Amino acid sequence: MKCIRFLLILTFVLCIQNGFSAKLEERFHWKEVSYAWPSDAAKEEAIKSGRYQSENNLPLGLEVWKSKLFITVPRWKSGVASSLNYVDIESKESSPALIPYPSWEVNSLDSDGTVTTAETTGGRTNAPKATVVDGQLADNSSIISTFRIRVDECDRLWVMDTGLADILGNPKQIAQPALVIFDLNTNKLIKRYTIPPAHIKDDTFFANVMVDAPKNGCEDAFAYIPDLGAYGTVVYSYKADKSWRVRHNFFYFDPVNGDYNVGGVNFQWTDGVFSMALGEQTEQGTRTVYFHALSSTKEFSVPNYVLQNKTRALSSESYYDYSFIGDRGPNGQSTAEFFDEKTKTLIYTQVNKDGIGCWNTSKPYTPDTQGIIDSDSDALVFPNDLKIDRNGNVWVLSDRLPVFIYKKLNPNEFNYRILTGKVSELILGTPCE
């Protein structure tokens, strides 16, 4: 009897330990970003010309597709070698070199963030860099600078290209903001959709994209592009190849939640709607779109069919189609969120807490129902982006962005990390279980 009791107690203790000890596993880390250069000579030339300044290359966004782990490097400063890249998930290296996607040619700019004026022969450009002909990009697959990207259910990569280089230095609008869509099975460009001037305001900044593709309906996909600077959302119809700009009070930042303390840096931001996540999809293709402003602790939602119906979306009556869900509580600012269909849980970053939070969508949205699945004052300093792959694994990229912007990163420390873990295991022992 004593033996049975002991075994029961031991089993209970092990279950408790497993439930509370699940942590994100560090998969990759970098002190400074390196690239898979075509040759040593190409790297030396890029350094000499200023096209590559390693300290200015900060990873920000990520996405997963099969064996590819995509990593974006926005052109915050000059000397960013390539903005859209990937590494092999199965790489045995802890700090693998980034491989430009789909090629070096479409990711290359001059050292000062300008493009080369191309000479053309028979309509084809001879220059190896992203080029402009008569004020237009010569190659529509060119990527100037991207923050966030998204892979849809149809194996397409959607890239929100800001077209803006040297953002923190001498900003240059090389190309107009555009959605650039690739076929991942062929690595070929599907289309480039330039955001119409009417959708762009004085403070517009498009740094994210969410793709809503119904089951068995690749042509019926929509993209939702939040404008964190001018507090709106652009909705794009893939089939119609048209877009419309939606306004709502819930897209604005919260003035009492614009203060941040991250990595020893105190700063204030006024970023509006930024994070978006798609809830569970019905057979009819309807789903909830969750969203929140970066400088806010409140969560909101709107049915996707409201955004997708231009007439309804632009009507003043649509105001009441939006819902306030709840509040994450003090210091609950978040840069990214993603819905896990298996556990019905929303996973999101917690930048002021050096952590990753969660919320079970079957429960009320209150501070008491929010969980922390991991927190680390070193590995998770400014968790910037996260995605959940088709196997239920969450992938998190942390990059110490505030230190990069307002101070200086230490090149002798690991500044950029990618961590991963199974959502179903990470939520054990939290209110999200």
Q: Say what percent of the chain tops pLDDT 90.
A: 85
CA–CA distance, 334 with 332 (Å, rounded to integer):
6
Average pLDDT value for residue range 71-81: 97
Both structure tokens of 16: 């408790």
17-26, 115-124, 394-403: segment of lowest average pLDDT: 115-124
> What average pLDDT score do residues 194-207 get?
97
Could you identify the residue written with the tokens 């305001």? 201
Residue 384 is predicted with a pLDDT of 98
Place 284 in a pLDDT band, splitting at 50, 70 and 90: confident
Please say if the pLDDT value at position 378 is more than 90. Answer: yes
pLDDT at 20 over 90: no
Which of 102-111, 144-153, 329-338, 390-399 comes out lowest in average pLDDT? 102-111
Res 3 pLDDT > 60: no
pLDDT at 16 over 80: no
Please report the pLDDT score of residue 292 as a whole number. Answer: 98
Closest CA to 153 of 27, 243, 285, 242: 285
Mean pLDDT, range 4-18, rounded to an integer: 45
What Cα–Cα distance (Å) separates residue 391 from each residue in 24, 148, 149, 209, 374?
15, 21, 19, 22, 20
Whole-structure pTM value: 0.91
pLDDT at residue 134 is higher than 80:
no
Question: Which residues, at least 6 apart from 210, have a Cβ–Cβ distance to it below 8 Å?
Answer: 150, 223, 224, 225, 226, 276, 277, 278, 289
Asked if pLDDT for residue 1 goes beyond 90, the answer is no
Q: For residue 285, what pLDDT band results from cuts at 50, 70 and 90?
A: confident
Interatomic CA distance for residues 58 and 77, integer angstroms = 9
Whether the per-residue pLDDT at 197 is higher than 70: the answer is yes
Q: Which of 6-10, 141-145, 207-211 has the lowest mean pLDDT?
A: 6-10
Q: Which amino acid is at 99?
A: I
- pLDDT for 227 beyond 60: yes
What's the pLDDT score for residue 22? Answer: 73
Q: Return the pLDDT at 114.
A: 52
- Per the model's pLDDT, the better-predicted residue between 16 and 189 turns out to be 189
Note whether 226 and 276 are within 8 A (CB).
Answer: yes
Instruction: Tell me the per-residue pLDDT of 365-375, one tens digit each, with 9 for 90 and over.
Output: 999 999 999 99
What percent of the chain lies above the pLDDT cut of 70? 89
Whether the pLDDT of residue 83 is over 70: the answer is: yes
Q: CA of 216: how far to CAs of 152, 187, 212, 283, 419, in Å?
A: 12, 22, 12, 10, 32
According to the model, what pLDDT value does residue 216 have?
81
Closest CA to 403 of 265, 271, 268: 265
pLDDT given at position 62: 98
| Domain ranges within the chain, ordered by starting residue | 29-194
pLDDT at 397: 98
Distance CA 257, CA 252 (A): 11
> Within 13 Å of residue 405, how many CA atoms lie on the same side as its CB?
19
List pLDDT tens digits, range 111-128: 545 544 333 333 333 334
Q: Which residue has the tokens 């600012």?
A: 333
**Gap between the Cα atoms of 227 and 274, Å rounded:** 7
Which residue has tokens 């999200």?
432
Residue 15: per-residue pLDDT:
44
CATH topology classification for 29-194: Neuraminidase (2.120.10)
